[in-house]
Amino acid sequence: MPLLSSVFEPGFFSNGPTQSALTIGGVVAVVSGVVGVFTVARGQSFAGHSLSDIGTAGGSAAFLVGMAPLYGFIVMNVMAAGVMELIGIRRPRGRDLATGIVLGAALGLAALFLYLDTTTSSTTGATVTVLFGSIFTLDPTTVPVVAVLGIVALGCVLALFRPLILSSISPDLATVRGVSVRLVGVGYLIALALAVSLSSITVGAILSTALLIGPAATALHLTNRTGPAILMAAVIGAVETWLGILLAYDSYYWFAGSHGLPVSFFIVLIVFVVYLTVQTTVRLSQRTRGYAGRSSAT
Amino acid sequence: MPATIREGSDTLNVEDVTVRLAGRTILDDVTLHVRPGELTGLIGSNGAGKTTLLRVILGLTPTSSGRVLINGRPRSRRSGLIGYVPQQITLDPDMPLRARDLVGLGLDGQRLGLPLPSSKRRRQVDEILEAVDATRFADARVGLLSGGEQQRILIAHALISRPKLLLLDEPLANLDLRSEQEVVEVLGRVAHSQGIGVLISTHDMNPLLPVMDRVAYIAAGRLASGSTADVVSSEALSKLYGRHVDVIHIHGRVIVVAGPEGIPLHHLGPEPVARVV
Amino acid sequence: MFESFMIDAWEAGTLVAVVAGVVGFFTVLRGSAFAAHAIPNSAFAGAAGASLIGVNPIGGLAAFSLLGAMTIGALSRRARRDVATALAIVMLLALGALFLSLTTEYAPEIFSLLFGEVLGVSTSELLPTAVIGALCILGVLLLYRPLMVSSVIPDVAEAQGVSNQQMEIAFLVVIALATTMAVPVVGALLIFSLLIGPAAAARSITSRPSVALVLSVVIALLTVWLAIALSYWTNLPIGFFVGSMGAFAYAAGRGWAAVANRRLRQASPTSRDAVLG
């Protein structure tokens, strides 16, 4: 069918790198979406953004020593998330300042490592890979690693589902109910660090927030219930990612095969547009219905 | 009901509890009894020690001396017999949680893994929502509820596991008049018709007067408890504060005022605390 | 390192530092961490776009910085802006990446726009940079008092005839201008460090606003001069030195404050902690 072949340029599904990209992209989007629902619900969007920026230092350091950036991201993100949790990252002004300073130091370090990357190693494109992702050039052996890490992250969140909600509402209340707030905090941290690291390798460290909060925030406009929210966030994230990969693949053909447009750009664009559309539509429909959306929107 | 209550069947016994933190005595030899079916107001200004006392009862703050008994037994970590409504919970409008979901978490919020839907659970949630008159907004997002509605949901959350003791920390703060009355009415019903011991901490006892059975008045870490008539009097409170205090009753309301300087405190005996139980 | 080609770097760096010190003082005062993060990202997209269509990067920087400032100003009037604006920031970065991917200078261009470049400002660009910087400082000095009032006690400001909204917009424009001139030297990702670090350090050392302002500029100058010198000697990127020295200044400021507090407490052991804040 001519329509189908113009949407899916030749070789899309049989292309090796594309298959890896679709698989990894899917897993990453699902994990980010699920963890992201809790991040947004806890009001930690800015902290999530800072976390991935701080991870830049880790990814570029890993690149320097010849390790896959993924592992650098994980180490750096786990450490940074741990520190943030210790000093408490829920909204107050002074924390924004301290977080910003750490962010600056980490980005400075990233500048250093990336510079050393380009001067010492023969591989080019460290900057672009670390900052904006490289989903098409990921080593296929990364796929099982991503899958396992994704399962670990999802497992943490799903196992701690109810205690996490309780401790997000009120740590005191949770403690009285017998929840170990500390344990829950650690579990969530690990899931967050993993989610941010995984999305850093697909869309890049400084863009990874889009996958973390975009689909989640979109889902939160569509439902009031936790279960459906995380399901929707996962599905929306996956579809947006796949669409982005498809468009990036197709873009090669728009320029007669000389070069394509960055995947991360497409994914972020789709996440942004979908969010704005849903948000505006929901707001408009609430206004015409005449109340401030107190009952379930679905 | 009071005639048949005996000492051993108290819901809550706080006995000679002292709490010292960073060199300061926050609670000084505090004794308090809450009986099933009775609503006790823990009255005191900010900083008097109300929240600390509640935290001691909940096991969140350790005591320097004294003990706490729930239903006659020393409190253990997962008492499960205490329902708690903390002060000032800000529910994020982004949190995807309906009112009925929050209430449901009162049953199993501490369990790991994903919840399985069950009709029994749904029935329990519906019943308790009915009891606090919250059925109307059961499906609304918790972060979008009004102050009074949120309080009722939190009360339902605390009650659904059928506790014997219900503790509320400043539940009426920042509520408009109507919400205040709604919450007070619910609390009165909970205590009197469900036989639960209810302890409410507040800095203003007036909204509670219609439903309050007993008063526990706390000032600078010392506590005097008893009936409203006994405790909320110029004499008893002056003794508690250690300085002259006037209690004025007007139009069914109570106003506690610090007396002018220079008035002698002639009823201050060797005991600094009035224990009128 | 004072060869003729480096003179431009020193001049540009000095201008950037002075402006950053002044603007940073108010950024920290107003807690505008978010705007200080978002506007440079917008600038990045602008510079990338300018590079793509081959116009002067300063034009692109200025246009997009101001655009970003206006957007934040408009969006922040809505009640909750966390998610929408966070996504907008990221969208701008992605846009910048797109523009640069279409040019031939992809990687090096990205690097210097994001992390700075000692020789980022050429001789021909020095004059526009100085003019923009002067505008910035002039603006701040003219608006000093209403800006202070609106930053420190916004509730009272309206009563005094200061429009908080106008001050917010004015300040966002100031940040946009400061961003425009600073991005070529220190990079979009590190401007935040230069704005916040010295100002936060100054604030920890002194409580007097005029002294803090001057100190902020002094620390910013030292930071930038050291960064240029070290970058020249080691050939390592200037962004690295700006980032680490911003953190160092902040930590040093906090350390100073802690030591000063301890000395104060030792001098007058009966003074309450509340005095030392």
pLDDT per position as a tens digit, A220-249: 999 999 999 999 999 999 999 999 999 988
CA angle A140, C107, A49 (to 5 degrees): 70
B269 pLDDT exceeds 50? no
What CATH number has the domain bearing residue C214?
1.10.3470.10
CB contact under 8 A, C97 and A111: no
- Cα–Cα distance measured from residue B256 to residue B209, given in angstroms and rounded to the nearest whole number: 14
Contact A181/C at CB under 8 A: no
Residue A286 included in any domain: yes
Size of interface A-B (CB pairs under 8 A): 103
Question: Does a structural domain hold residue A2?
Answer: no
> How far is C-alpha C81 from the chain's CA centre?
22
> Residue C77: what pLDDT?
60
What value does the mean pLDDT take over residues B160-165?
90
What Å distances lie between residue C3 and C6, C10, C12, CA to CA? 5, 10, 15
Q: Å from A218 to nearest chain C CA? A: 10
- Asked whether the beta carbons of residue A176 and residue B58 sit closer than 8 angstroms, the reply is yes
Within-domain flag for A10: no
Determine the Cα–Cα distance for residues B82 and B80; give it in Å rounded to an integer: 6
Regarding an ipTM greater than 0.90, the answer is no
pLDDT category at B270 given cuts 50, 70, 90 is very low
Q: How confident is the model at residue A292 (pLDDT cuts 50, 70, 90)?
A: very low
Residue range(s) defining the domain that contains residue A161:
16-292
Number of domains in chain A: 1
How far CA C270 is from CA of B23, B26, B186, C262, in Å, comes to 14, 20, 48, 13
Burial of A194 (0-12, 13-18, 19+ CB in 10 A): buried
**Is A222 touching C (CB cutoff 8 A)?**
no
A45 and C83 within 8 Å at the Cβ level: the answer is yes
Range of the domain at C196: 4-276
pLDDT digits (tens, 9 = 90+) for C13-46: 999 999 999 999 999 888 787 788 889 988 999 9
Does residue A5 fall inside a structural domain?
Answer: no
Q: In chain A, which residues have their Cβ closer than 8 Å to the Cβ of C231?
A: none
Confidence of residue A259 (pLDDT cuts 50, 70, 90): confident
A181-203 vs A161-169: helix crossing angle, rounded to 10: 100
**Whether residue B184 has pLDDT greater than 90:** yes
List per-block mean pLDDT (blocks of 10 residues) for chain C, which spans 277 residues. Answer: 79 92 91 83 89 83 89 66 78 89 75 84 83 91 86 81 83 92 89 92 88 94 93 90 92 86 71 38
Domain count, chain C: 1
- B138–chain A Cβ distance below 8 A for any pair: no
- Res A267 pLDDT > 80: yes
CA angle C57, C61, C62 (to 5 degrees): 120
Judged by average pLDDT, the poorest of B72-76, B181-185, C45-49, C181-185 is B72-76
Q: Does A42 touch chain C (CB under 8 A)?
A: no
Residue B37 to chain A, least CA–CA distance (Å): 22
Q: How crowded is residue C254: how many other Cβ atoms within 10 Å of its Cβ? A: 16
Q: CATH number for the domain including A115?
A: 1.10.3470.10
Q: What is the mean pLDDT of residues B25-39?
A: 89
Nearest to B94 among A41, A169, A177 (CB): A41
Give the pLDDT of residue B268. 43
Query: Who among A101, A110, A213 is closest to C250 (CB)?
Result: A101
Confidence tier at A88 by pLDDT (50, 70, 90): low
**A210 in contact with chain C, both atoms CB, cutoff 8 A:** yes
Query: For all residues of chain B together, what is the average pLDDT?
Result: 84
* Min Cα separation A36/chain B (Å): 12
Q: How many Å apart are CA B11 and CA B71, to the nearest integer?
A: 5
Measured distance CA(A211)–CA(C86) in Å, rounded: 12
For chain A, the residues whose C-beta falls within 8 A of a C-beta of chain B are: 37, 40-43, 158-163, 165-166, 168-170, 172-179, 217, 219-220, 223-229, 292-296
User: Residue B262: what pLDDT?
Assistant: 60
Question: Averaging pLDDT over each range in B4-18, B33-47, B254-268, which range is the top one?
Answer: B33-47
Task: Give the pLDDT score at B234.
Answer: 86
Residue A4 within any structural domain of the chain: no
- Provide the shortest C-alpha distance from residue A158 to chain B (in Å): 6
Q: Answer yes or no: are the C-beta atoms of A150 and A31 closer than 8 Å.
A: yes
Contact B102 A169 (CB under 8 A): yes
Contact A206 C93 (CB under 8 A): yes
